[in-house]
């Protein structure tokens, strides 16, 4: 009985050496002596094969928060949510897609949000908001969200998040507009590159109703440096006292 060892099979090779007698034939055939030689590969000569114990690579983007609301003026349906990379590899080319269906499963509307304007990259455990606005004419019953993404292979990008909001202010405008402005500071020890400011808006019940990302006025901020920001929203639900949150992020070498 043989075992497979690291890709090799131990084998037993048997050679038979036949010897014939020179005596005259007789009524009784002479016995034929045989010799058996066993050849076995020593274990010490087998090349060991490395076993990969690393966790399998997994690309996984999840919707960790989503809220749907309808614009009373236009009838458009809004889907606002948060995407988070819950896999163990960096992700890029990220695109959430919403499909709305009627009571028998027919597609009523479908659309996507490309978050590359804010960041086309999500490192492991990192998150980003999205906002999809769809024009709907026919009645609908259900919706589904599918996330398209690819693993980032050729480039390695690091997120930089050592910022503080120096001050921020929100101000309502006409026709459902809302403006958030202020300043951010790089409180880290390295240069922040391609700095982005993310603003999320919440209604009095804490529902996420809008999200937007803008490039900071100063894209590359040295340690201790400050940059203003100014983000404006349109076509928001009117009559609410909105609450906003601001955070900044950037790339680093």
Pair 68, 146 in one domain = yes
The answer to whether residue 12 is domain-embedded is yes
- What is the residue range of 89's domain? 61-151
pTM of the model: 0.70
The answer to whether residue 69 is domain-embedded is yes
Is it the case that residue 63 has pLDDT exceeding 50?
yes
Q: What mean pLDDT comes out for the span 58-73?
A: 91
Pair 75, 34 in one domain = no
Number of domains in the chain: 3
- Confidence at residue 119, expressed as pLDDT on a 0 to 100 scale: 58
Q: Is 249 helix (H, G, I), strand (E, B) or coil?
A: strand
Pair 67, 41 in one domain = no
Mean pLDDT, the chain, whole residue set: 80
* Model pLDDT for residues 143-173, shown as the tens digit of each residue: 999 999 999 877 666 678 899 999 999 998 8
Range with the poorest average pLDDT among 4-13, 60-69, 74-83, 135-144: 4-13
The answer to whether residue 176 is domain-embedded is yes
CATH number of the domain encompassing residue 226? 2.60.40.10
The answer to whether residue 54 is domain-embedded is no
Q: Is 83 exposed, middle or buried (0-12, 13-18, 19+ CB in 10 A)?
A: buried
Pair 38, 94 in one domain = no
The answer to whether residue 37 is domain-embedded is yes
Q: Answer whether 188's CB lies under 8 Å from 164's CB.
A: no
Show which of 97, 126, 151 is a domain's final residue.
151
The answer to whether residue 230 is domain-embedded is yes
pLDDT above 70: percentage of residues in the chain: 74
3-state secondary structure string across 16-63? ECCCCCCCCCCCCCCCCCCCEEEECCCHHHCCCCCCCCCCCCCCCEEE
Show which of 127, 151, 175 is a domain's final residue.
151
Show which of 130, 151, 172 is a domain's final residue.
151
Is it the case that residue 8 has pLDDT exceeding 50?
no
* Model pLDDT for residues 224-238, shown as the tens digit of each residue: 999 999 999 988 877
Pair 86, 102 in one domain = yes
* Model pLDDT for residues 101-152, shown as the tens digit of each residue: 999 999 999 999 765 456 567 888 888 889 999 999 899 999 999 999 999 8
Is it the case that residue 1 has pLDDT exceeding 80?
no
The answer to whether residue 224 is domain-embedded is yes
């Amino acid at each position: 009985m043989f075992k497979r060892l690291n890709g090799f099979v131990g084998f037993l090779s048997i050679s038979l050496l036949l010897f014939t007698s020179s005596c005259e034939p007789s009524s009784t055939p002479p016995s034929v002596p045989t010799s058996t030689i066993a050849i076995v590969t020593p274990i010490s000569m087998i090349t060991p094969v490395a076993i990969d114990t690393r966790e399998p690579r997994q690309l996984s983007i999840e919707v960790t928060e989503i809220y749907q609301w309808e614009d009373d003026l236009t009838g458009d349906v809004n889907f606002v949510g948060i995407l988070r990379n819950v896999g163990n590899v960096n992700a890029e080319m990220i695109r959430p897609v919403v499909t709305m269906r009627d009571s028998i499963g027919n597609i009523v509307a479908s659309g996507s949000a490309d978050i590359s304007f804010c960041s086309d990259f999500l490192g492991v455990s990192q998150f980003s908001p999205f906002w999809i606005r769809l024009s709907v004419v026919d009645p609908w019953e259900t919706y589904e969200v599918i996330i398209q993404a690819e693993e980032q292979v050729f480039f390695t990008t690091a997120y930089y998040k050592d910022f503080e909001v120096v001050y921020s202010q929100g101000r309502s405008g006409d026709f459902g507009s809302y403006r958030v402005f202020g300043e951010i500071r790089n409180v880290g020890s390295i240069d922040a590159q391609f700095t982005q400011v993310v603003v999320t808006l919440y209604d009095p019940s804490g529902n996420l109703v809008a999200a937007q990302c803008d490039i900071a006025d100063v894209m590359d901020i040295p340690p201790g440096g400050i940059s203003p920001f100014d983000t404006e929203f349109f076509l928001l639900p009117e009559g609410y006292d909105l609450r906003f949150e601001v955070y900044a992020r950037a790339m680093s070498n």
